[in-house]
Amino acid sequence: MRNPVVLVALGTRPEVIKLAPVIHALRSSRDFSVRVCVTAQHRQMLDVMLRNFDLRPDYDLDLMRANQDPSTFSARALPELRRVIRRVKPAYVLVQGDTTTAFIAALSAFYAKVPVGHVEAGLRTFDRENPFPEETNRVLISRLTDLHFTPTRAAGENLQAEGVPARSIVLTGNTVVDALRWAGAQPHRVAEPALFEGLNSMMGGDKAVLVTTHRRENHGEPLESLCGAFMTLLQKHPELHLFYPVHMNPNVRKTVRSIVRHPRGHLLPALDYFDLLHVMRSSRFVMTDSGGLQEEAPALGKPVIVLRQVTERPEAVAAGVAALAGTDARAVVSLASRLMEDGPFYDSMAKGSGIYGDGRASWRIVDSLRRRFGLAPRPPRAFTKA
């Protein structure tokens, strides 16, 4: 009898990081035939991550176009993903998170009457404009999903409040912790040694802060405000070095490069996973509007200033390892300065946290799929409220 085929669809850098452990676990189990389809929603950043995690897609749709918007990308992606599903005839389609790729892949599977597994299900801000379009994407994916793999108990409770049956919710932890542990076990190497030759001496201790920005809702005035805050911090703290991998989106690059002009404001190219972890480990804290970094930084004991109005990861805020600053320059400067100057406050946020799991989320996902196909004696344990 042929092993069930699991089709994993992804298109962006964060999806690779969070699905690579699942793909490797599925392949290691020997119970499934795995096919990987990439849309290349983010071409260059995706390719770097695929190399980092030693993944070679079976299908590459190469759909990225300059200045694409969600509607035109969706229109191109739907028929292409339908074609792949018809060819592969999967028993399950796995998607992750809240990207347009994840939504369109789930929709394509639904149209083909193929069950969907959603990795990192149940995250909510309850504000469909923040983040945009991700909040609406993940709500719609939940309506199309058969197995919801939730990273935290709170995410499962969100789904139950929306009427999702408990039997279809599996509490796994977040696969980002699996990826971090895998990366930590690899031989240390730097992808861009020339880039870091002059920077390593500026990292470590109280000197370095990692900054990332890319959210669509922060484009324009919010990003201008943030960049102004970064300049104020550099002027206020002469020991501070900002390490700022600038997102490849031209709307981000133009704004950042026109405002952040300071010898200690190091504007870097987009970094591969290992180089980004190198900078994060060497930083005092992180300022970001990224979802993934809100999970990775606490796992490494680094405080996080969240440059957004709301977050779908409230667990880190509740645990005191992350703080919402929004995009108001004064709020960002105040919070960052406190982390620079107030030792006890910094220590309270740098305590590290296991709120996102123990590094075995991928295996829980595989075990749940095995049980769905009768490959284990017991059904998956249903999610229950505490």
Catalytic annotation on 214?
yes
Active site residue 216: yes
Known catalytic membership, residue 237? no
- Alpha-helical segments (H) within 185-220: 193-197
The question of whether 134 is a catalytic residue gets the answer yes
Could you say which of 148, 214, 215, 308 is catalytic? 214
- 226, amino acid identity: L
Give the active site residue among 35, 42, 247, 372. 247
Whether residue 98 lies in the annotated active site? yes
Question: Of the listed 216, 281, 370, 371, which one is catalytic?
Answer: 216
Catalytic choice (15, 134, 295, 315) = 134
Token pair, residue 153, equals 């108990």
How many angstroms separate the CA atoms of 199 and 193, rounded?
10
Burial 42-65 (b: 16+ CB within 10 A, else e): bbebbbbbbebbebebebbbebbe
Helices (H), strands (E): how many in the chain?
A: 16, 13
Among 265, 315, 146, 290, residue whose Cα is nearest residue 214: 290
Burial 332-348 (b: 16+ CB within 10 A, else e): bbebbeebbeeeeebee
Q: Is 138 among the catalytic positions?
A: no
Active-site residue identified among 15, 42, 120, 157: 120
Among residues 15, 98, 135, 178, the one annotated as catalytic is: 98
Which residue's structure tokens are 């020339």? Answer: 194
Which residues are identified as catalytic? 98, 120, 134, 214, 216, 247
